[in-house]
Structure 1
Amino acid sequence: MQELLDNNRERLLSAEETKFLYLYTPLCGTCQVAGKMLRVVEELLPHHNWLKADLNFVSDLAEQYSIESVPCLLVIRNNELVKKIYAFQSVPFLYESLKSF
């Protein structure tokens, strides 16, 4: 999973492909568990574009996408928000939710 930073954000978010953007905060215990689950799903779906960002450093994205809480996974296709996932119920749930993208 590639870290989304200010110096690469425009290039990564403007690409005309489907992206999975994982938003988290480092002190969030639920985010740590969700991140581990996403690493497994990333292994199962290796051909997808996986990004992550510490929400503390991309607060403008939180506003842009109306993020209500973390962890949050955004599915962005052709620069449009397609899906938001807040409840990371299980690895199978995430895999089934994302494999069609």
Structure 2
Amino acid sequence: MRETTEKELAGWIESGERRVVVFGHTPFCGTCKAARRMLEVVEQMDAEVDIYALDLNFAPAFIQAYRISSTPSLSIFEPGTRKSPRTIYAMQSVPHLLEFIGSGRG
């Protein structure tokens, strides 16, 4: 998982050339820490998944544009689409996250 910035993400999302998976978090959120650990396992299990971590304290435009309502959040922007991302807030389990992340791929 790689930390990213709102500006960097905006460029990738606008280009629509690739799939972007965004983990929205805040540093002092305990639930976010647990979700991060699960997402790290997901990345180890599926080499095709690249997850970008975004500190929502520094991403007001992202929060507003994509109506992020709480942390942690996981948003997936599919390539070639300009619609809103698929977003979940409940990181129930590693299998649940694998299914959510994989469900948009062919």
- Equivalent positions of 1:20-99 (< 5 A) are 20-78=21-79, 79-99=82-102
Distance 2:44 2:93 in 1: 15
- Percent identical pairs in the alignment equals 35
Unaligned runs of 5+ in 2: none
Cα offset, 1:82, TM superposition = 3.5
User: Does the residue aligned with 1:51 lie in a helix, a strand or coil?
Assistant: strand
Q: 8 Å contact 2:43–2:51 — kept in the other structure?
A: yes
Q: Is the 8 A contact 1:23 1:53 kept in 2?
A: yes
State the one-letter code of the partner of 1:36: R
What secondary structure is seen at the aligned counterpart in 1 of 2:17?
coil
How many residues matched? 101
Residues 12 and 18 in structure 2, CA contact (< 8 A), matched pair in contact too:
no
Question: Over aligned residue pairs, what C-alpha RMSD do you find?
Answer: 1.7
5+ unaligned residues in a row in structure 1: which ranges? none
Higher strand share: 1
Partners of 1:7 and 1:43 lie apart in 2 by 27
Match of 1:81, SS state, is coil
Kindly provide the CA deviation profile for residues 20-71 of structure 1, in whole angstroms up to 9, marking residues without a partner as x: 1000000100000000000001112221332110000111100000011000
Amino acid paired to 1:95: L
**2: CA distance, partners of 1:95 / 1:64:** 26
TM-score, normalisation: structure 1:
0.87
